[in-house]
Structure 1
Amino acid sequence: MTTYDDYGVPVGAYSEPEGLMHQAWRVARAFYLYRIRPLVGRGFNGLKRGDWSFKRLFTLVNALVLLWWAVLYWGERGIFNGAINTCDWDTWEKWEAGANPHRLIFVADPQLIDPHTYPGRPWPLNPLAYKYTDLYLRRTYSRLQTTLYPDTIFFLGDLFDGGREWATRTSVSPEKQYRKYGDRFWINEYRRFGNIFFKHWGDGGLDPRPGQPGRKLISSLPGNHDLGFGKGVQVGVRNRFNAYFGDGNRIDVIANHTFVSIDSVSLSAVGQEASEEVEHLWRPTTDFLENAKKQKRRLIQRELRRQQGLTPYPGFPHRDIEGEALVKAELPHSNDEVAEFPSILLSHVPLFRAPGTPCGPLREHWPPTKPPVGQAPFEKDDRNAISVSGGYQYQNVLNKEITTDIANKVGDIRYAFSGDDHDYCEVLHRGYASGGGGIREITVKSTSWAMGVRYPGIVMVSLWNPVDAHGKPLSGKADRTIQTNLCLFPDQIGTFLRYGSLFGLTFSLLFIRAFLVAVGIIKPPPTPTEIPLLPTTNTLSNEKAAQKFEDSPSPTDHTHSSNSSTASERGNLQARSKQKYTYPLVQHAGYNPPVNEDQDHHTRKQVKIYGGVSTKPEKPRKKRKGLALFEYELRTSLGMVVVLGGVIYLWLVWRDSS
């Protein structure tokens, strides 16, 4: 018996609608029952479950995709990690037990490429060159921090390629084609340099290693591409560089060694024609050299006081200083007698040497000429040497007079490090004043793969010089305080060539495969069955429904009485209620099943009029043969390899681009 509430509504006739979570659960359940489970039962791609095998899984296309993934990871990650790992300090340092050396790295000629590097190159070659050279520098430099974690990094000049060309407010480029690039362009290049080197300085951390005073990055040494050379240096350009990077002439005491940096490109204006007219260019460096020995001594005294826990500067004397004397007044310093620390000279341009002086076996471009069997290496080897020559805004080595003057005024030089040449060169200069048996100079390779060397690199320096309170070496060996190692970076051009070779191999294999499929030697893979997103009734059930509709009385048939009509409808409802559906009724909504070719004309007409179903049968797909099959197989298989390989490649590049 039906009961009613106070409003006359049958009790239980209405209920609260389902919540959103419950509806989502029902949709997910229906998706599994009517989409996932039928697929699993039939097998993917129209294959039965029993058709799956290792042969279908390990196809040529899948094997090539895996091969590309492995090669791309190797080329974009593996070779960089491997190259830096082989340079680990512990693999080449040979100090006494218990030593805690200071670890330093020299980086030379990153020379960020810009419109000055490849003038006239069409788009998009230049943007791609910028992208890949910056990416290479960022990858190698970041791994230097995370893997090697140096205490100090020195840059040896040529930070930019066209830095000297970009105008300032007081200067313009000497070349007309670059005058449209102004100060704003240089600022953007400075920001670009910072995003590569300053931003990633802390990738491995910022804390000093145990026993070390701290970490330091020094990038103030200018190169000829930063300022110009000799008389070509413009004061405005130099002032801008010094404002952002620091003075090119400086002295740093690091690990009980004295590093003397000199602006050799400005100093080279001495001795050039009409040098008196450009005295403002070379005068700052000559003044710096005049006071170099005195300044070294003061800095050594301050460092020793710091090591003993004293203040670097003694107290100021309380006395009056006249106005004229105030100009020349100096900061107080102790008068303790101290020993010299080994001096290390830093110059962008290498020191003078006789033409043909060999650079040694580590030079990449031209290894030493092999002497006849039983004879010593040649003392003069032009192909293995740095050319003693010069040109517009450059000079391969300093003048002999300038080199001699530097050696005499700095004094006690044991090592010198330079850049500019882009390749490695190691020379022992015995003809200049030094702190021992001569000045051993190492010209550091460029760190960029766009500077004419296949294997860029850096020079690693390990410093260990324990001293007493007066600066004397405790080991008694002042000439054995430095160890060096050449660290080579990957061959980026070689990596691109390997990618090209692999693509050629991939295309050849897929070409052969497509040909074999086209001629019938290899069976083509089965065509995936088209399955709608939601399951529908099959063709057989639709045919039965159409036949049942045809046998039922027409709405226009007046031979049936109302009673028989009612009875017929009741019977149809009963039969319909007893019908068992394998899918929900909603699955039939809007579905237009194909009609078989053997269906009679009357049924096709009725279905068209009353069922809303298209009478056009589904046309079977044409089977590809011959050239069409060959083109289809080659295009689809190659496209799959390229797309899947390209996704991994873009991901690897994107990860290193920030």
Structure 2
Amino acid sequence: MTTYDDYGMPVGAYSEPESLTHQALRVARAFVLYRVRPRWRQVMGGSWSWRRMSSVSRVLVLLWVVMMYWGERTVFKNSIAECKWENWERWSDDANPHRLLLIADPQLIDPHTYPGRPWPLDTITVKLTDNYLRRTYSRIQKVLYPDTEIFLGDLFDGGREWSTRTSKSPEERYRKYGTSFWLKEYARFGNIFFAHWRDGGDLPRPGQPGRKIISSLPGNHDLGFGRGIQDQVRKRFNAYFGDGNRVDIIGNHTLVSLDSVSLSAYGQENPDQVQALWKPAMEFLDGVKTQKQRLVQEELRVQRGLKRTSPFMHEEIKADHLAKAALPKLSDTVTEFPTILLSHVPLYRAGGTPCGPLREHWPPTRPPKGQTSPLEHDDRNAISVSGGYQYQNVLDPRITKDIAEKVGNIAYAFSGDDHDYCEVVHRAYASAGGGIREITVKSTSMAMGIRRPGVVLVSLWNPVDEHGNPLVKDRSAPSLQTHLCLLPDELGILIQYGVFVVISLAVLGLRAFLIASGRISSNTSANESQSLLPTIKPNASSAETEKADLASPHHSNSSHHNPSFSNSSSTSDRGALLSVRNQNSRARSTSPGSYALPTAAGSQYSYPSVQQAGYYGPDDVSGKNGVKVWGASGDKGGKKVRKKGVALFIREFRNSVLKVAAVVVGWYLWLVWTG
């Protein structure tokens, strides 16, 4: 029974039309089913059944799939998993250390890095290095989940060269790059690091005050070095990343970040002419001890549940006493936290000071026979005490001395710039514990001249009372532990890919040669020669075929009147003979209801069977590259040329390479995109 709505319309008779999105999805699905999938099967040579899995192309594809998964997934997972905090931290069971990540010299590739590299090689280099930085950084966030991250400078490679409104690059070829280009590089840096900082989450770990990322420390590739710095370039950097001179209280440690590239102008010729460059850093150093004490007092008040600063006293001050009135100060007497110095340029050391066994590019020189201790002077393993255009490998000795004295109580120092790992103890400078232990952090980029980039993990554990006194019984025990976390050797992985490309091409070339020389057959050739009509055994002779035809009980003499048809099976050269079915075997009775055409009595002709229609026998006219075959579907004029010799080799090699490359490239892009 039909029901009607309030408007008199049958219920269910009408429905809303399809949305444009639904129609588009339906069309896309049809396109994939009826266009893409058949073409894909044609390119890949049919279905992937177990019977055909042993083909050369498929074996190579499987090997590529396994190798690329290892290179793009397994290696990255294993390298970061080896750096887990619990694998190397050696604190007591009740410890809850603050976990710090130090990143040095990402130095995003730009036109300044390889000025003579042509397109598209330069674009590929940028994509590879950016992808490596993004994947390793994201993996670190998910697996290691540090509480605080600090960059040690050289965020860009050519940041100092990009012009501002009032400044230009010293080099003519870079003057066309201005602030707009710098802003694109800033967005690119943010897409790699800032956008993936929360990949592991954004909530602080239990017992930690919160998560923090600090990227304000500049390097010589960001600003320049010493007198080469342009003030407008530095102001632009500080406006987006923050002041390079700062003090942070992290994990009951005082971290002092120093803009050492600007301060270095003080140690060069005629420093009075460039006071605007070094004076802010020098003024910061002059007041850093007071700032350290104030921040420690504020931190201890926060840990006790008090306000960070003392409240103002509500009292009346006479006008004549106003000039002598002082702002309220914290009166708490506290103990200073251990100080950690952060600088882009390493501190000064004598030439030949060895960097230790973890230095990759130049490992320590073997000591003479009979000596077990490492060399005290090793030029090969040391950071070179030298400089050049817009760089200096170590700070000036006078500036280093001022830093040690004015900052005071420096227990540890971390720096960048050198791209390789270096660990030294500066015993020439007064500090906490008889020397400053400095670690120069490896570059995190795969394009900085080292095979294994890295980061340094720092575990901070310094429990204190309300006055800042350590609660640990052993006051000489270190409050800081470090670990060098090595990242994957991407260059080595790419080299392995390159070697396997050569092997794959050689294997496919050998296969094509064997097919062209007739030693083996290919699926393509077999598919070409296969007829759409029923066939008999290829080895059957014409006599056997004729005998089988004559032995048929329904044999008619129509074949005697069609010699071209009766001889077709013997003259065919396509590797598979046509199986001729006698026309009488298909004939129907002339009784009522049948559809067969009757044969006229006494007629010498018979009606031809369906399989004879349109068949003119084989064409054995040879072309230039092979034999032309009639009746091949999809060919112009009904002919298809069977390749031979060099032409067959080229076709087989090209098709097999395309089959393998189609899967391998797609698989690689998916691994990289989702990695």
| Separation in 2, partners of 1:74, 1:620 | 47
Q: Which moved more, 1:125-134 or 1:618-627?
A: 618-627
Q: Does 1:638 align with 2:636?
A: no
Give, in whole Å, the separation in 2 of the partners of 1:53 and 1:164: 59
CA contact (8 A) 1:268 1:399 kept: yes
Equivalent pair of 2:53/2:59 in contact (CA under 8 Å): no
Aligned residues: 554
Task: Identify which of 430, 438, 442 aligns with 2:435.
Answer: 438
SS at match of 1:483: strand
Query: Distance between the aligned counterparts of 1:358 and 1:328, measured in 2?
Result: 55
Of 462, 466, 483, the match for 1:469: 466
Question: Percent identity at matched positions?
Answer: 60
Partner of 1:485: 483
Residue 572 and residue 180 in structure 1: after superposition, are their counterparts in 2 closer, same or farther (change >3 A)? farther
Give 1:626 shift: 3.1
Task: Give the TM-score normalised by structure 2.
Answer: 0.76
| 2:258/2:281 contact within 8 Å kept | yes
Matched, 1:203 2:193: no
Matched, 1:302 2:321: no
CA distance in 2, matches of 1:628, 1:529: 18
Alpha-carbon distance in structure 2 between the residues aligned to 1:78 and 1:636: 31
SS at match of 1:299: helix
Q: Which residue number in structure 2 is paired with residue 377 of structure 1? A: 374
Q: 1:262 aligns with which of 253, 258, 265?
A: 258
Shift of 1:75: 2.0
Post-superposition Cα deviations, 1:163-187, rounded to whole Å, max 9, x if no partner, equal: 1111112222222221111111111
Q: Is the 8 A contact 2:101 2:455 kept in 1?
A: yes
Q: Find out whether 1:361 has 2:357 as its counterpart.
A: yes
2: distance between equivalents of 1:384 and 1:150?
A: 31
Q: Over residues 340-397 of structure 1, what are the superposed CA-to-partner deviations in whole Å (9 max), with x where a residue is unaligned?
A: 1100000000000000000001101110000123212110000100000011111000
Shift of 1:624: 3.4
Which letter maps to 2:394? V
Secondary structure in 2 aligned to 1:468?
Answer: coil
SS at match of 2:661: helix
1:63 deviates by 0.8
CA shift, 1:625, in A, is 3.3
Question: Equivalents in 2 of 1:76, 1:91: separation in Å?
Answer: 24
CA contact (8 A) 2:99 2:148 kept: yes
Most deviating of 488-497 and 198-207: 488-497
Relative distance call for 1:479 and 1:406 in structure 2 (3 A) is farther
- Measure the CA separation in 1 of the matches of 2:54 and 2:135: 34
Change (3 A) 1:597 1:281: same
Deviation at 1:60, TM superposition (A): 1.8
Match in the other structure for 2:446 = 449
Distance, in Å, in 2 between the alignment partners of 1:326 and 1:226 is 46
2:671 maps to which residue?
652
Counterpart residue identity of residue 664, structure 2 = G
CA distance in 2, matches of 1:353, 1:269: 19
Inter-CA distance 636–427: structure 2 relative to 1 (3 Å threshold):
same
State the shift of 1:478 in Å.
5.2
Question: Equivalents in 2 of 1:385, 1:322: separation in Å?
Answer: 64
Residue type of the partner of 2:229?
Answer: V
Query: What per-residue deviation string (whole Å, max 9, x for no partner) do you get for residues 131-169 of structure 1?
Result: 111111101111110111000000000101111111112
Counterpart check, 1:505 vs 2:528: no
Alignment partners' CA distance in 2, 1:95 and 1:264 = 33
Q: Deviations over 1:492-530 (max 9, x none)?
A: 211111111001111111122222223333232365758
> Root-mean-square deviation (CA), in Å?
3.5
On the 8 A contact 1:266/1:285 being kept in 2, the answer is yes
1:402 aligns with 2:399: yes
Aligned pairs (5 A) from 1:570-585: 575=594
Establish whether residue 75 from structure 1 lines up as the match of residue 94 from structure 2.
no
The offset of 1:308, in angstroms, is 0.8
Task: Provide the residue aligned with 2:41 in structure 1.
Answer: none
Task: Specify which of 150, 153, 156 is matched with residue 149 of structure 2.
Answer: 153
Structure 1: which amino acid aligns with 2:508? L
**Residues 330, 166 of structure 1: CA spacing in aligned structure 2 closer, same or farther, 3 A cutoff?**
farther
Deviation string 1:415-463 (CA, Å, 9 cap, x unpaired) is 0000000000000000112111210000001110111111111001011
Q: Give, in angstroms, the shift of residue 650 of structure 1.
A: 2.0
1:90 aligned partner, one-letter code: E
Task: Evaluate the alpha carbon distance shift between residue 329 and residue 206 of structure 1 in structure 2; reply closer, same or farther with a 3 A threshold.
Answer: farther
Tell me which of 314, 332, 335 is aligned to 1:336.
Answer: 332
Contact 1:222-1:248 at 8 Å conserved across structures: yes
SS in 2 for 1:382: coil
Decide which of 624, 629, 640 is 2:643's aligned counterpart: 624
Question: Hey, what's the Cα distance between the residues in 1 that align with 2:182 and 2:317?
Answer: 44
Task: Note closer, same or farther for the CA distance 1:175–1:627 as it changes in structure 2 (3 Å cut).
Answer: closer
SS where residue 371 of structure 1 aligns? coil
Is the contact made by 1:83 and 1:488 (CA closer than 8 Å) also made in structure 2? yes
Tell me if the contact between 2:310 and 2:330 (Cα under 8 Å) persists in the aligned partners. Answer: yes
Q: How far, CA to CA, are the matches of 2:637 and 2:172 in structure 1? A: 71
Q: Which runs of 5+ in 1 are unaligned?
A: 1-15, 22-30, 40-44, 540-546, 548-570, 579-590, 600-613
Unaligned runs of 5+ in 2: 1-12, 19-29, 39-43, 536-557, 559-589, 598-609, 619-632
Taking a change above 3 Å as real, the CA distance of residues 412 and 634 of structure 1, as seen in their structure-2 partners, is same
Summarize the Cα distance change of 1:46–1:305 in structure 2 as closer, same or farther, 3 Å threshold: closer
Structure 1 residues 631 and 334: CA distance shift in structure 2, 3 A: same
User: Which residue of 177, 185, 192 corresponds with 1:189?
Assistant: 185
Report the residue type matching 2:222 in the other structure: D
User: Which of 56, 61, 66 is 1:60 aligned to?
Assistant: 56
Task: Call closer, same or farther: CA 1:286–1:593 in 2, change over 3 Å.
Answer: farther
2:424 counterpart of 1:427: yes
Shift of 1:72: 1.7
Match of 2:494 in 1: 496
| Offset, 1:277 | 1.0
| Shift in Å, 1:632 | 2.4
Structure 2 CA distance for aligned equivalents of residues 231 and 301 of structure 1: 37
Matched residue type, 2:506? S
Higher mean alpha-carbon deviation, 178-187 vs 519-528, is at 519-528
SS at match of 2:495: helix
For 2:392, the aligned partner's letter is Q
| Alpha-carbon separation, structure 2, partners of 1:324 and 1:446 | 60
Aligned AA for 2:469? K
One-letter amino acid of the counterpart of residue 628, structure 1: A
